[in-house]
Structure 1
């Protein structure tokens, strides 16, 4: 059974229904064939990756979809190794350098150097031209083509002549905002050095975490989150294409729980379909296990006695989240939302300030558990003091 999020992902610019102005802008960029370095930023699930793939298909053709996954081992001259998952086709390569931690700088330099030193494969359009040049007319075969077909062929030939050969590969770097400062500085120098043979498409959520010299070398493209009506329309389209029926109230419930994340909304819809169908108006919308776990963590912080023993229990729960690869910023964000629902309005401002302070500290450090535990212990102190003063 395939995931609906992959099954119904738009393949071309014409299939995109959200943000038409942005789609028009990207289509115009693709017509130049010589694209600049691009920086896509916006919230998770807003459609950044979908638009990037549409752009690549418009540049290189359908062969971009022939992707294979591999694990690459990096061995550095200064010592040490790193292993990274890579997706690649004949025309592009996609990786997430932040997965290797502090070794991200060396991974970026090695990867771009390797790509730049190899000869780029001809583009989809140039391959078509080569095929046409290699074909010979068969004079013994009867010419049964109509005048209209001949005119269409001439028009296509003219279009192909206008199309330029693309002599570079595209490197997609995900989560660039999580790269170390040294890696970003190295990326700035490397992208200048190999600009003739490769183009970079950077993807991030928080553009302010990227250094100014790197931003200034890219064309910034903001992909905003869709509104509630747009997410609901997308869900209705998926339901229709699956030949299902769903109450409007149920779809609105999914939209409200999705945080305007298209990926999450469609996954929640498919998960609900597996749990129970036909859909009911007041049907329970399944939430991710980690989100339920954090909600339970917030409840134990507020409702259980604020003591060192309880803090030890909470530490074990935090380790559980981290070992299951839940990002630190997501833990901070969801935990803060849950705590704000459980505390008095007089304590909310201070709680938000604490969360912002310790999240910033966690980005500067390398051990998130320390900063998460510090935030919770600090919150328990002010919450216990608030209860003592109140009663």
Structure 2
């Protein structure tokens, strides 16, 4: 039994539910015989990966779905061995170099060089002398790089050199939430495709298809207006993140016999914990609270919540709480405090990318925010 988000993920460009102009563009590129390097960017859950996988299917056929996971070993300049997971098919690789932190340059240099120096061979057309022939149209191999915006500058420089040197044998597809951290030379060598978050109407159309295929109408409000309001609430709560919205909808269905407009939405535990943590930072500025916060941050990290996501969510929650006209926070100049919190968040976001102990930087951020609040308290 697979999750709805995987079960109903479209496998071809023709079956995608929105951004049809992007689908037409990708289909034209796949059939042109001159497929470029791509930089696909947009918010989480917008459908970037789905469109890329559909484009690969358009390029190579169903063979791209024959996936396996390989473990590659790399050696750092200090002779430390690193293991790195690579998802691959006969036609493409999918990697997330940012998982290696500051060693992402080694992955880029060694792995991409190894892939690029091997010319792809098409065994589907075997001539009479039993020698495999080269498919001239798509003889290149595609490498998908997730979280491209988190790559270090050294890794991006190595990536640029690879793009220049091995462009005949390799095509890179970079997936990013934003282009702000991508260096100019890479942006200039790729075709930029922005995949915007789907609108509520588009999310509702996806929901309605799932409802029809899963026969869910008997579990939902009978009144069409109420049903649409419920689905809109799910979409709005998940910030138009389609993947998250579908998962939330499925969780709501699994946890309730009948779903009504008053049924509480499924809220993620870690998000609620971070809201309470932000409230605690604003109210209790003490050493004892710092120790308590440290233990909570440790728990979140041990449950595989990324440190940068924790930092981002904390900054957003602190910003929202500072905007509330609530006397319990005792803040004199709210606008000035909000700007200082965002500035502090940007500093510690950079330190997270440079350092190795995430807990130090997260704890440092909370202490710095407490100092800012203490100076500005009534």
**Both proteins in one fold, TM over 0.5:** yes
Partner of 1:9: 9
**65-74 or 192-201, which deviates more:** 65-74
- The Cα of 1:164 is off from its aligned counterpart by 5.8
Matched, 1:189 2:161: yes
TM-score, normalised by the number of residues in structure 1: 0.84
| In 2: Cα distance, 1:360 partner to 1:204 partner | 21
CA 35–315 in structure 1, closer or farther in 2 if over 3 Å, else same = same
Alignment match of 1:277 (pick from 243, 248, 257) = 257
Alignment match of 2:269 (pick from 289, 293, 296) = 289
SS at match of 1:225: coil
SS at match of 1:208: coil
- The Cα of 1:309 is off from its aligned counterpart by 1.2
Partner of 1:342: 321
CA 121–360 in structure 1, closer or farther in 2 if over 3 Å, else same = farther
Please give the per-residue CA displacement for 1:177-209, whole angstroms capped at 9, x wherever unaligned: 111111110111112111111111111112110
- The Cα of 1:5 is off from its aligned counterpart by 0.6
Alignment match of 1:299 (pick from 250, 263, 279) = 279
CA 224–386 in structure 1, closer or farther in 2 if over 3 Å, else same = same
Partner of 1:308: 287
| In 1: Cα distance, 2:344 partner to 2:281 partner | 19
Partner of 2:25: 25
Please give the per-residue CA displacement for 1:305-364, whole angstroms capped at 9, x wherever unaligned: 321111121122122222333223322332233233433454155224423433344324
Matched, 1:169 2:156: no
Instruction: Please show how residues 93-104 of structure 1 align to structure 2 within 5 Å.
Output: 93-104=93-104
CA 298–78 in structure 1, closer or farther in 2 if over 3 Å, else same = closer
Matched, 1:258 2:238: yes
Partner of 1:362: 349
Matched, 1:379 2:369: yes
Partner of 1:219: 191
Contact in 1 for aligned 2:315/2:341 (Cα 8 Å)? no
TM-score, normalised by the number of residues in structure 2: 0.87
SS at match of 2:86: strand
**173-182 or 222-231, which deviates more:** 222-231
Q: How many residue pairs are counted as aligned between the two chains?
A: 353
| In 1: Cα distance, 2:205 partner to 2:370 partner | 43
Structure 2: segments with no counterpart, 5+ residues: 129-134, 221-226, 326-332
SS at match of 1:207: coil
| In 1: Cα distance, 2:230 partner to 2:257 partner | 12
| In 1: Cα distance, 2:253 partner to 2:136 partner | 47
Larger radius of gyration: 1
| In 1: Cα distance, 2:216 partner to 2:178 partner | 37
Partner of 1:324: 303
Contact in 1 for aligned 2:57/2:64 (Cα 8 Å)? yes
| In 1: Cα distance, 2:179 partner to 2:321 partner | 32
Please give the per-residue CA displacement for 1:38-84, whole angstroms capped at 9, x wherever unaligned: 11111111110000011100000011111112222223566221111
| In 1: Cα distance, 2:44 partner to 2:65 partner | 22
Structure 1 stretches of at least 4 aligned residues deviating more than 6 Å after TM superposition = none
Partner of 2:224: none
CA 77–312 in structure 1, closer or farther in 2 if over 3 Å, else same = closer
Contact in 1 for aligned 2:344/2:368 (Cα 8 Å)? no
